[in-house]
Structures are given as C-alpha cells and as structure tokens.
Amino acid sequence: MSRADPRSCRGIRDQGERRITTRPARVDPGFGFEWAGSPARGVPADRFSVRWEGLFRAPESASYSIFLVANDGVRFVIGGETVLESFEAPQGSRNFYGSSEVRLDAGYHRLRVEHFEDLGSARILCRVGVEGREAPLRLADHLFHAPEPQK
Ligand SMILES: [Ca+2]
C-alpha cells in the first residue's frame, strides 16, 4: 500500500510562490484512480495534486517495464531515479501515455508517484511488467508502506 498526500496543485503550477494546502494523509491500496470529481474530502475537483510514497517490492532482479496513463501530469520515481515524467503545460482532458524500463535488484525500492490534475477528467493508471513474464504484476501485492522517516 502507498500513502497518499493530496495537496493543492498551485504550488507546482506557480513554482511555490503561492501557499500549498496540505491535507491529512491517507492510505490507498494502490495508485490507480479515475476521478470524475474530488479525489478526497476537502480537495477540489480540479487543480489538485497527489503524492503517493511507499515501497515497491521487486520479486526478482530483472528489467521492469512501467506503463503509465495520466491526466494530467505524472512523475514516477523509483529508487531515487525519475523514470517517467510529464509535468508540462496543463493538458486538459488529454491523457499522457508513457513507458520506461528500469533495472531493479530483487527487494524493496522506495517509490514516489506524483500526479496533478488541472481541469476536466483526472486519472492515473499503471502497469508494471517484468522481463520474461507474460502477465503484468498484480501491483497490490508489491506496494507497501514506507517506514516513517527518522527524525
Ligand atoms: Ca485533466
């Protein structure tokens, strides 16, 4: 599971010049969503962003293929490496489709997925394939809470 942290999108769009409104974090079973309206209580239907942080467990040392559909923007960071990113100008109702490959050792890797919605429909869908396997991973079996950071 991953921790979601819905925030206002304004901080991203305006380079942090405006106040970012932080909402209470919650736990999601994953990070695949299609939102017709607000993603969470207290968050507007448009101009919001969400950040999921957790751990991805790679079942074997292999090349992993990551496929993302996002509306509007997305950034996918695993093990500190940004492997997919589309944070360009707002895309309205258009989707971003992207894929990338990353080599991972078996074990746990820090995962951070950031998504922002400007206007219209909002979605983020993800599939992860493993070199040599026909079916994509069942992501719910491979996502875990990150331990709380040490102070
Ligand atoms: Ca949109």
Which residues line ion ligand 1, judged by CB < 5 Å? 71-72, 120
pLDDT at 67: 97
pLDDT at 137: 96
Q: How many CA atoms lie within 13 A of 26 on its CB side?
A: 13
Q: What is the pLDDT along the chain (151 residues), one digit of tens a residue?
A: 444 544 433 333 333 334 455 666 788 878 899 998 888 888 888 888 898 989 999 999 999 999 999 999 999 999 999 999 998 766 667 899 999 999 999 999 999 999 989 888 899 999 999 999 999 999 989 998 766 545 5
Tokens of 60: 């074997």
CA 95 – ligand 1 centroid, Å: 8
CA 3 – ligand 1 centroid, Å: 22
pLDDT at 23: 63
CA 35 – ligand 1 centroid, Å: 10
Backbone angles phi, psi at 13, to 5 degrees: -70, -30
Q: Could you give the C-alpha distances from 81 to 4, 34, 112, 121, 148, in angstroms and in order?
A: 20, 26, 10, 28, 20
Confirm if 33 and 39 have CB atoms less than 8 A apart. Answer: yes
Kindly report the CATH number that applies to the domain delimited by 2-144.
Answer: 2.60.120.1560
What is the residue type of 37? G
CA 2 – ligand 1 centroid, Å: 22
Q: What residues does each domain of the chain span?
A: 2-144
**What's this model's pTM, rounded to 2 decimal places?**
0.81
SS3 call for 141: helix
